[in-house]
Every structure is written in C-alpha cells, then in structure tokens.
C-alpha cells in the first residue's frame, strides 16, 4: 500500500495513542507558564507545521485566552531583530525537528529570554534539544513525503497543551472520542475516490473555510499542491469576499469545508454567493442544509463538536489529495522535487 | 483616466503629504504605549489592509522589538473568546473604517482592556470612533475599487508609528526620501505595459518574495485577482520550498519581487531553483545579478534601503495588475462582483 494512504489510515490510532502519552510534559510546561505569567504565545513553523500553527492560534486563544502570534522567522533569522519576549512562550513546530529557520528562531528566542517548547516527532532532533520543553507527537516513523499523521498528531499535541494550561480534562476526553470519529470519517474514502474522477483535468481550485478550519483549508490546499501539482489556494470565507471572489466564473471549482458549528452560517452564505456566480461547489460537510447546495456533496457522516472538527475534516482533505494524485496518474509517495526534510534559512 | 491608474500615480504625493501630518497622533499613541508598558501588538484587518498588516508585523518587530500578532477576528466575533489583552495594543486597519468584523474586534478588544488604535482613511468612521487613537491616512478620496493609494498610505502610517514608538526621526526622513523614489519607480510603467502583453492568456501564477516584501507579494497577488481574475498565489520563498514548489512545471509563470537587502540572497537561490525547473521567471528588481536570471526582467531603477522597499516595489505590482487587466480586456475600475466596502462578520 502507498505510505501516504497507510499513514492517513493510521491517524485514529495515532491520536488515541497520543492522549495516553505526553500529558505529563504538557502539564509541566503549563505550570512553568503560570509561574512566569506568560501572556503571549508565538508559534514558529513552516509548511504543514505552519498550518498546524494556524490551528493552534484558534485553540490557544479560544481555550486559554492567551494571544497567539505566528512567527515570521526571517525577522529574526535574516534581519536579526531583537524582540521583547520575557512574558512569551515560543513554540517551534517541525515534525523532523530539523527545519533550519525554525530551529534558529527558537534558539535566538531562548537567548532573548523566552520560555521555549518544541512540538516534534523526533525526540533527538535539534529543535527538541534546544527547547526547554518538548511535546512529542508519538506518531511513529512517517514515510510519506506528504505529511499526514504528523499533522494530526501536532494538532493533538496542541489540544493537550491547551487542556493542561487551563486544566480542562474534558478536552482530553473529547480528544479520545475524536479518535473514534476519525475512524468513522475514513469511510468517506469510497465517495472521494469516485469524486476525484471528476477533477482529472482540474488545474486550479479554491479551498474555503472559516474560523477553526482555516488551517484545514490551508493544509488541504498544500496536500493537493504537493501530490497533484494543483494551484490550490486556501481562503478564509471572510478574506475571500474582500477581492478574490472576483476570480470566480462559471464552473470555477471551489471546495468548501463546512462542519457544523459557529462558522457554519457564514459558510452557507459563502455557498449561496458562489452558487449565484455559477461556481462548481464541492462541499465537505455533515449538514444536509449545505450539502444540498453542492454540485458535488462530500458527506462526512460524523456528528461532533466543532472544536475537534479539524482532526476529522482534514482526513477528507488528505484523501482528496491522495485520490486526485492517483486519478491524475501521479505517485503520491513521490512528489516531484520534494524531500522529507526541507532546509530554508 | 482610470481611477486606479490615477491613484497609483498619486502615491508619491500621498506619502509626502502624510509625513507632514499625523505624527502628532502617532507620538501621543506611542507615549500611551510606554505608560501602559505595552508588550504586544495585534493587527486586525481584511483584504488589502491585511496585507498592510503583514508588512506591519515586520516593521514593528524589526524597528520596535515588540512582538506582533495578526488577529483572526472570528476567534472573537464568531467564537466569543475572551483574550488577555491588558498589555496589548490592538490596531484595526480599514481604509473605509467600516469592515464589520474588524470594527467588532476592536470594540470587544477595548472591552477586554486593550489599548486600541485605528488606521483608516475615514475620520468619521465606526472604526475611528471606537479607537482610543486614530492614525489617519490622509490619502484623499479613493475612487478605484482596487485599493492602491490607501494601501501605501497605511504603510506610511505604520512607519510613522514605528518611528514614534522608538523615537526614530531618521525613519521620517527615510519616508520623505522614499516619496521621491516612488516617483522614480513610476517610470517602470512603460516596461510593464509591454510585458503585460506576454501574459494575455496567463490564468494562474505565483508571486514570490521573502521577508519585508511578503506583504508586497500578497498585495500584488490580490490586485491581480481583483482586476484580472487570475489565480495569483503569493508565497514566502521559504514556505514555497516546503511543498508548493512541486507545482512548478516548464513555463509556469512566477513573479519574483527581489529588492536589494537581507532577503536578496534567498531570492537568488529561489530564482536558480525555479530556473532549473524551467519556470517562466518575471523578476522585479534593481540588481543586475538577479535580473539576468529572468525570462522577463522588470527593472526598478531605484537604489534604496530595503526597509522602505515595500512602498516602492508595490508600485510595480499595482501597475502590473492594472495593465494585465487592460491587456485581458477588463476594466480595472469595475472589477466584477466587488464593491468598495466589504462587510463580513
């Protein structure tokens, strides 16, 4: 079997396994954060890990009320800025723990007085060695070049840290339950394999979400770029209305990620607007109200709390990227021009 | 003349004019920041203003050393999160001052104890009324639906606030000089009008920059989307290497924004990598070393400090969007489906 498909299917187990580990480290980090009265979190990451960071911003702000910034590493690595970080926790996220500029960012942030942590799948990596605290993904070796299970394991680590910071054991229960729901969601694969046929000659598309699933949209678009070489562009439904909607013409393919929850009404409005313009609408959702608006409905047969939906809905995105690659005649395990570890400065 | 072209050409004057205004307000805000020991800035914005915010993150962190987060408004407006903002300055950016979710974000942030400010072109707007301090863009009425001069005026306001926070009057001098350089840069229009012909049938492209000009890439892509309905996708040269480079095939059009400075070497490496893959390279730069690598060089005949280059290089991006629209037979003053004020929640 393809590494990528195999690892997509491992994800429920990876999350179930993760909840039983690592909460010790998360609790120690949370205690240190309280001791140092941390009032800012900065997440430094690239690529897939940066999409996990986007998700992290929502979770830490929503669950913990601590403002979160995503790092622009070059400000420190290229421009040598000195930031005031005495009340900041800086978290470097890299599955390999090798992303050069993320490692350098964390190192320099530590020198500037920040509390530091790493979220990584590699306990012996540079990133883990530098960080004051390490949250391990426990995802096992990832062989697919397109990261899948390390993405969801990173999301899992973020939930666990959020739970530790605000002492919310209910979130750990939620995470356990979500592992089961991820298993259910995998059943959408048959439908996605069929749907992919329709997009054999698609060369560009938009992936649109709002709120918590912003990172899901970005990660779906990235997987499609990596495995199918598509110009797949992620948008917040709000930013999308501020300009990019002008691009839409009859038949332009838009994939909407629209789980139930607080962002749902905005996604309904977005679907209506896109329909008016004659866009091709593929909609990934559980709710019939929005699925009925789709050109191509992709039902996710899972009733769930929106807070955990990013773990479930990314599975549809990953499977879509995988099957699109097959349909287009590409090997998803051998994306042209990519390697497992990317070094940038 | 088209409103858009007229307003692109007004920009040197707008910046020259801005430096003579508003520094009073910026100084008062800076004094209040010191008094309240602000150690975090949060910028809330949508669309073009959000691209200005991306730029703001670089400037405030580089010049002032204060960590900067870009707001995800939905965390407050949809999910009702309460953030700890007692040491934070929250700046809402909206040329019209009407962007609904930005206004709401600022209002709620104020209730959570944040110091608040607005950067807007409309002194009587909701945003200005809510904010503790207002930095006016003084750009005059903007008639073009694709914002141009309000973008650069927002950048100008950001430089002025950064100057005030760290008492850097040299930055005000730099801004004055830059107004003249922007005038020189306008001379690239003839070349850009010719170059646009080549892209009559281009349907998608990447716009790549690094560091300070990240916002320039995003804003160039947005202008192209708005006026020419192109799938134009902005990338950081670093993020680009983590996946999206797989999309590149023979002839794929990439526009590189590569002024001299600290990010220049990375852009050279990016150009080499793209050339290897046979991409079509349009390069906007002043330096012959990188221009000589271009399929289509677009020289910007301006020697300058990288810190101010976003004000100069966006002019090329705006002119490119304008002339592409004309070449494709569209009216840049009437982008389909857009209006001057976009309301999202």
- Per-residue pLDDT reduced to its tens digit, A218-244: 999 999 999 998 889 999 998 888 778
A75 touches chain B (CB under 8 A): yes
Pick the catalytic residue from A57, A277, A293, A340. Answer: A340
CB B69 within 8 A of CB B41: yes
Q: Do B88 and A67 touch (CB under 8 A)?
A: yes
**What pLDDT, on a 0 to 100 scale, did the predictor assign at position B126?**
97
Which CATH superfamily does the domain covering B3-167 fall into? Answer: Glucose-6-phosphate isomerase like protein; domain 1 (3.40.50.10490)
Decide if B244 and A266 are in contact by the 8 Å CB cutoff. Answer: no
A136 backbone dihedrals φ, ψ, rounded to 5°: -85, 140
Tell me the per-residue pLDDT of B275-296, one tens digit each, with 9 for 90 and over: 999 999 999 999 999 999 999 9
The reported pLDDT for the residue numbered A277 is 93
Q: What is the pLDDT of residue A164?
A: 97
Q: How far is A58 from chain B (nearest CA, A)?
A: 6
Nearest by CB to residue A75, choosing from B61, B75, B342, is B61
Any B CB within 8 A of A242 CB? yes
**In which residue are the tokens 């749907």 written?**
A195
Show the tokens assigned to A48. 């897939």
CB B82 within 8 A of CB B36: no
* CATH superfamily name and code, A184-327: Glucose-6-phosphate isomerase like protein; domain 1 (3.40.50.10490)
Across chain A, what does the average pLDDT equal? 95
0.90 exceeded by the pTM? yes
Instruction: Tell me the nearest-neighbour CA distance from B232 into chain A, angstroms.
Output: 9
Are residues A243 and B48 in contact, defined by beta-carbon separation less than 8 angstroms?
yes
Is the CB of residue A210 less than 8 Å away from at least one CB of chain B?
Answer: yes
Taking each helix axis as running N to C, give the angle between helix B214-228 and helix B47-59, from 0 to 180 degrees, rounded to the nearest 10: 170
**Domain boundaries, given as residue ranges, for chain B:** 3-167, 184-327
pLDDT of residue B342: 65
Q: What is the pLDDT of residue A278?
A: 95
Per the CB < 8 A criterion, the answer to whether A326 and A5 are in contact is: no
The three-state secondary structure class of A261 is: coil
Per-residue pLDDT band at B337 (split at 50, 70, 90): low
Mean local confidence (pLDDT), A211-219: 97
Helices (H), A36-168: 47-59, 74-77, 100-111, 126-130, 149-165
If you average pLDDT over residues B310-330, what whole number do you get? 97
Examine domains B3-167 and B184-327 and report if their fold is the same.
yes
- ipTM of this model? 0.94
Residue B121 has pLDDT above 90, yes or no: yes
pLDDT tens-digit map of A59-96: 999 999 999 999 999 999 999 999 999 999 999 999 99
Q: State the Cα–Cα distance between residues B256 and B206, nearest whole angstrom.
A: 8
Tell me the mean pLDDT in the region B222-228. Answer: 93
Are the beta carbons of B84 and A67 separated by less than 8 Å? yes
Enumerate the active-site residues of B.
340
For residues A241 and B60, give the distance between their C-alpha atoms in angstroms, rounded to a whole number.
Answer: 28
Q: For residue B275, which of B244, B305, B306, B254 has the smallest C-alpha distance? A: B254
Tell whether the model's pLDDT for residue A337 goes beyond 70.
no
Percent of chain A past pLDDT 70, that is, above it, reads: 97
Cα(B16)–Cα(B19) distance, integer angstroms: 6
Token pair of A178, please? Answer: 């979500």
Mean confidence (pLDDT) of chain B: 95
Q: What is the three-class DSSP state of B182?
A: helix
Query: What integer pLDDT is reported at residue A245 of this predicted model?
Result: 86
């Amino acid at each position: 079997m393809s590494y990528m498909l195999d690892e997509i299917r491992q994800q429920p187990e990876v999350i179930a396994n993760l909840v039983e580990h690592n909460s010790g480290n998360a609790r120690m980090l949370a205690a240190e954060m309280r001791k140092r009265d941390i009032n800012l979190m900065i997440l430094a990451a690239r690529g897939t890990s940066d999409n996990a960071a986007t998700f992290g911003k929502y979770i830490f702000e929503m669950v913990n009320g601590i403002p979160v910034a995503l790092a622009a590493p070059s400000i420190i690595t290229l421009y040598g800025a000195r930031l005031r970080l005495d009340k900041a926790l800086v978290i470097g996220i890299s599955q390999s723990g090798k992303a050069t500029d993320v490692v350098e960012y964390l190192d320099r942030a530590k020198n500037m007085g920040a509390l530091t942590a790493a979220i990584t799948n590699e306990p012996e990596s540079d990133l883990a060695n530098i960080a004051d605290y390490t949250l391990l993904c426990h995802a096992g070796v990832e062989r697919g070049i397109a990261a899948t299970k390390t993405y969801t394991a990173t999301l899992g680590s973020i939930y666990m840290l959020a739970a530790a910071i605000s002492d919310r054991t209910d979130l750990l229960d939620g995470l356990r339950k979500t592992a089961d729901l991820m298993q259910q969601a995998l059943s959408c694969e048959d439908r996605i394999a069929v749907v992919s046929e329709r997009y054999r000659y698609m060369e560009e598309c938009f992936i649109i979400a709002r709120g918590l699933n912003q990172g899901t949209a970005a990660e779906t678009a990235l997987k499609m770029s990596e495995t199918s070489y598509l110009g797949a562009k992620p948008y917040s439904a709000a930013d999308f209305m501020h300009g990019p909607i002008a691009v839409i013409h009859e038949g332009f393919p838009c994939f909407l990620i629209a789980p139930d929850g607080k962002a749902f009404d905005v996604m309904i409005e977005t679907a209506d607007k896109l329909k008016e313009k004659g866009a091709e609408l593929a909609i990934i959702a559980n709710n019939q109200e929005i699925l009925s608006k789709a050109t191509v409905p992709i039902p996710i047969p899972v009733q769930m709390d929106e807070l955990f939906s990013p773990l479930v809905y990314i599975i549809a995105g990953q499977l879509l990227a995988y099957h699109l690659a097959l349909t287009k005649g590409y090997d998803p395990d051998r994306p042209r021009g990519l390697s497992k570890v990317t070094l940038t400065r």
